[in-house]
Chains A and B, each alone.
Chain A
Amino acid sequence: MRPGELIPGNGPVPQAEGRRARIAVTNTGRFDAYLTSHFPLARASAALRFERAGLEGARLALPAGASVAIPAGTTQELEITWD
């Protein structure tokens, strides 16, 4: 017995249930970049090269507060959502 313990309910907790897509993001800058779950993608650093058209209202499909690292000079394929 653990004081205050959690007895989980059934099934996973749904996340980000809106439209999905995948995009490739290249970090052309000299420094590692981090994108967070709710940052408006269309307004991300200019050092990050990706097709921004049509990304209004999109965000990374990550749990709220999570982030992804994009090391300098690399390309990452990222899942995005319009939820």
Chain B
Amino acid sequence: MGLTRAEYASLYGPTAGDRLRLGDTDLFVTVEADDGRPGHEPVAGFGKTVRDGLLTSGDRPLAEALDIVVTNVVLMDPVLGVRKTSIGVRDGRVVAVGRAGDPDRDDAVTVPISAATGVVPGEGLIATPGTIDPHVHLLGPQLVPAALAGAITTMAAMSYSGAFDLGINPRANLDSLLRAWRAVPINLLPIVRGSTDNASFLDELAALGAGAYKVHEDMSAYP
């Protein structure tokens, strides 16, 4: 028994040897490897295989359970290459990449799915590491959903509004920005204004949480 490539992709996403067009560009990637076991793909839903006693382990300790598994996704990663795989997350971090399922049934499973694990179906999707935007002006809260939609997970950013501040400077502004950012699911490297020859001023800003200094040589660094 076999499935045509098109049938397989419609059920479980592309597999090794398939090529994908990236968006509407003329760039293509080839799926180089598939970490799954053909015929035993973990799929969630009514009557599917992610189920206690099937491809889900029923007796792993809760403390070891992965929080989330992204299943059957095409991963594009500078180290792991372009591969069909599953991704395990615990405590907000990727802790496992490889075959998902029940390790008691298949020794090659490296991403165990337990009864406590949430499943994000990755079939037909591409996963990449989060990208860093090193030059963001914090002009409004609308930036965050736009950035996340574009796979940006870290911003190096300055300015707290339309103010012509060239950094996130006075203590009150930096404090309020960092407080507000706790509710936002994106990493922030706050850049502060470093256009000063007063070293103690820079030390104080670092202690307040500054991640980098911006020196505007063209407009504020010299008398």
A binding-site residues for B, Cβ under 8 Å: 1-17, 34, 36-40, 61, 63-65, 67, 79, 83
Contacts and interface: CB of A to CB of B under 8 A. Distances in A.
Contact of B23 (A4, A16, A38): A4
Given A6-B5, A65-B11, 12 more contacts: A3-B21, A3-B23, A6-B9, A8-B18, A9-B16, A14-B38, A15-B3, A16-B39, A38-B54, A64-B43, A65-B47, A83-B39
Interface in B138-197: none
Nearest to A13: B8
Classify chain B: how many residues form its interface, as a range.
35 or more
A38 B106 CA distance: 14
B223 interface: no
Contacts of B47: 34, 36, 65, 67
B18 A9 contact: yes
A61 B54 contact: no
Interface of B: 1-6, 8-9, 11-12, 14-24, 28, 31, 38-43, 45, 47-49, 51, 53-55
Contacts, number: 100
A79 to B, nearest CB: 8
Contact of B28 (A2, A7, A63): A7
Given A4-B20, A4-B23, A65-B43, A12 B49 contact: no
Nearest to B12: A64
